[in-house]
């Protein structure tokens, strides 16, 4: 009987514990063919509350806290830079001591690419990013990705 009570107590204890996601950002990747060997890639971050993802320091745009690096590929030509699509919040961050741009729910990074040839290509890269809970936690993360281009339907 004591073992049963002990086991039930332990189960109740574990059920009451808060489940903490080790990385509260979910990434999704998509490539849309625009025709003429041109693709628009979408790299979307979905952020759990109360977390947010930083992109850049407002007064120092070259000091980005989010960097998307694509692996060099002679058959892939980026047309311009990544554009951020979302609802940015610009505010002073006491943890970083800077005015910062951040996103709370989601942000979509979009870039157009030109592909040389018709062979299927796997676009590979890494996203380096910083997240915060806005109070006292600041974490850096890396996310590797692969996005297929020119796949046969």
Say whether pLDDT at 153 is over 60: no
The answer to whether the CB of 103 falls within 8 A of the CB of 51 is: no
Of the chain, the percentage scoring pLDDT greater than 70 comes to 84
What stretches of the chain adopt beta strand conformation (E)?
25-35, 38-47, 52-57, 60-64, 66-70, 76-86, 89-93, 98-103, 106-115, 121-132, 138-149
Q: What is the pLDDT of residue 69?
A: 95
Q: Which CATH architecture has domain 24-149?
A: Sandwich (2.60)
What value does the mean pLDDT of the chain take? 84
Measured in whole angstroms, the distance separating CA 44 from the mean position of its chain's CA atoms is 6
| 56-81 residue pLDDT tens | 777 776 678 899 999 999 999 999 99
Of the chain, the percentage scoring pLDDT greater than 90 comes to 60
The answer to whether the CB of 146 falls within 8 A of the CB of 122 is: yes
Determine the Cα–Cα distance for residues 22 and 137; give it in Å rounded to an integer. 12
Q: What is the CA radius of gyration of the chain?
A: 21
- pLDDT higher at 148 or 95: 148
Say whether pLDDT at 10 is over 60: no
The answer to whether the CB of 45 falls within 8 A of the CB of 26 is: yes
- Provide the greatest CA pair distance for the chain: 73
């Amino acid at each position: 009987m004591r073992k049963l009570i002990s086991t039930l107590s332990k189960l109740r204890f574990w059920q009451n514990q808060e489940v903490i996601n080790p990385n509260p950002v979910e990434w999704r990747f998509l490539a849309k063919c625009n025709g003429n060997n041109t693709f628009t890639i979408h790299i979307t971050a979905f952020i759990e509350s109360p977390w947010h993802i930083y992109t850049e320091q407002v007064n120092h745009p070259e000091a980005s806290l989010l960097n998307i690096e694509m692996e060099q590929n002679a058959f892939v030509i980026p047309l311009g830079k990544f554009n951020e699509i979302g609802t940015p919040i610009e505010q002073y961050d006491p943890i970083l001591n800077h005015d910062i741009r951040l996103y709370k729910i989601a942000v979509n990074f979009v870039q157009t690419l030109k592909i040389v040839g018709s062979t299927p290509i796997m676009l590979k890269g890494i996203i380096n990013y910083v997240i915060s809970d806005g109070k006292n936690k600041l974490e850096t993360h890396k996310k590797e990705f692969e996005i297929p281009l020119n796949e046969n339907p």
